[in-house]
Amino acid sequence: MAGLVGEVFRLVPRPQAHGHRILMYHSVGLEQSGTTVDGDTLGIYSMTLAQFTQQIDAIQGVARSTGMSFVPFGSVLRDTISITFDDGYTDALTVIAPILCARQIPFHIFVSSARMNGSDRKYLSPEQVVELANMPGVTIGAHGATHRSLTSLSSPELAAELQASKVDLEAVLQKTVNTMSYPFGHVDESVHKASHDAGFTFAATSKWGFNEASGDPLLQRRIDMWSGDNKRTVENKILGHWNWFGLLT
Ligand SMILES: [Zn+2]
């Protein structure tokens, strides 16, 4: 009998922890173009289309069986899921958008404005960012201007970098940008204050964990998604079985 009860509990996924889940992705399919995600020494931040599709299937499966819904990044609602992509790679438009839009899953892309306005076309161009922003469920946030570590900058440099990241993106989108993610997840008290002063109201870190409505909107935790995550790992991350990992990040 105990075995049967254990089996039933194993088959019905239950959230181990409550809170808003913000998933952090980077690229899907970038390695096929012969380039890699910046600083991705472990090769975990660019996954194939097959790996990504399998992960989205698993996330949707958990969402269905637990009653969690997908919400745009920027709202903290208990037991909901937001999907984010850092760095603004072009595959957000060519690979990711077709999949997530077809499934009506909202997603958020963090774009570094100087890269957007630069010549390296592994990053989204201004026209591509606008095209994405016009798709249903797609929202855009800042990710620094030049993708430098914000904690490494002097006070005037920090203010200028944050201001440029916001204003340059707003000029392209023709609307207010008040969300951001910290490049490399680097944030300290000065960066937190400067982000607030620059007009950002909601920001994602790389610190592992779920979020409660009472949490600091400028210090939102995320769940890091890796290319090698199989169905079971993805399910466990969404359910909260990996939240001990927050102690290490
Ligand atoms: Zn980044």
Sign, CA torsion 188/72/215/212: negative
Give the pLDDT of residue 102. Answer: 97
C-alpha 64 – ligand 1 centre gap (Å): 31
Its domain, for residue 219, covers 22-244
Q: Is residue 7 situated within a structural domain?
A: no
Give the pLDDT of residue 30. Answer: 77
The tokens of 248 are what?
Answer: 């290490």
Q: Is residue 16 situated within a structural domain?
A: no
Give the pLDDT of residue 1. Answer: 44
Could you give the dihedral angle defined by the CA atoms of residues 226, 231, 234 and 239, in that order, rounded to the nearest 10 degrees? -170
C-alpha 202 – ligand 1 centre gap (Å): 17
Phi, psi of 222 (to 5 degrees): -135, 165
Distance of alpha carbon 106 from the chain centroid: 11
Q: Is residue 144 situated within a structural domain?
A: yes
In total, how many domains does the chain have?
1
Q: How far apart are CA 84 and CA 107, in angstroms?
A: 6
C-alpha 46 – ligand 1 centre gap (Å): 13
Q: Count the neighbouring beta carbons within 10 Å of the beta carbon of residue 75.
A: 11
C-alpha 238 – ligand 1 centre gap (Å): 22
C-alpha 181 – ligand 1 centre gap (Å): 8
Give the pLDDT of residue 11. Answer: 56
Give the pLDDT of residue 37. Answer: 82
Q: Is residue 32 situated within a structural domain?
A: yes
C-alpha 28 – ligand 1 centre gap (Å): 14
In the 8-state DSSP scheme, what is residue 126?
H
Give the pLDDT of residue 248. Answer: 80
Q: How far apart are CA 212 and CA 196, in angstroms?
A: 20
Give the residue among 88, 194, 206 at the shortest CA–CA distance from 141: 88
Give the pLDDT of residue 44. Answer: 86
Q: How far apart are CA 76 and CA 66, in angstroms?
A: 18
Give the residue among 178, 231, 189 at the shortest CA–CA distance from 61: 231
Could you give the dihedral angle defined by the CA atoms of residues 135, 99, 62 and 236, in that order, rounded to the nearest 10 degrees? -110
All residues with CB under 5 Å from ion ligand 1: 86-87, 183
C-alpha 165 – ligand 1 centre gap (Å): 13
Could you give the dihedral angle defined by the CA atoms of residues 125, 131, 134 and 137, in that order, rounded to the nearest 10 degrees? -80
Give the pLDDT of residue 5. Answer: 52
Q: Is residue 10 situated within a structural domain?
A: no
- The per-residue b/e assignment along 57-73, b for 16 or more CB within 10 angstroms, e otherwise, is ebbeebbeebebebbeb
Q: Is residue 98 situated within a structural domain?
A: yes
What CATH number corresponds to the domain at position 210? 3.20.20.370
Q: Is residue 13 situated within a structural domain?
A: no
Q: Is residue 14 situated within a structural domain?
A: no
In the 8-state DSSP scheme, what is residue 246?
G
pTM: 0.92
**What residues in the chain have per-residue pLDDT under 50?**
1-2, 8
Angle at 218 between CA 40 and CA 112, to 5 degrees: 45
pLDDT tens figures, 142-184? 999 999 999 999 999 999 999 999 999 999 999 999 999 999 9
Pairing of strands 80-86, 138-142: unpaired
Give the residue among 39, 22, 21 at the shortest CA–CA distance from 30: 39
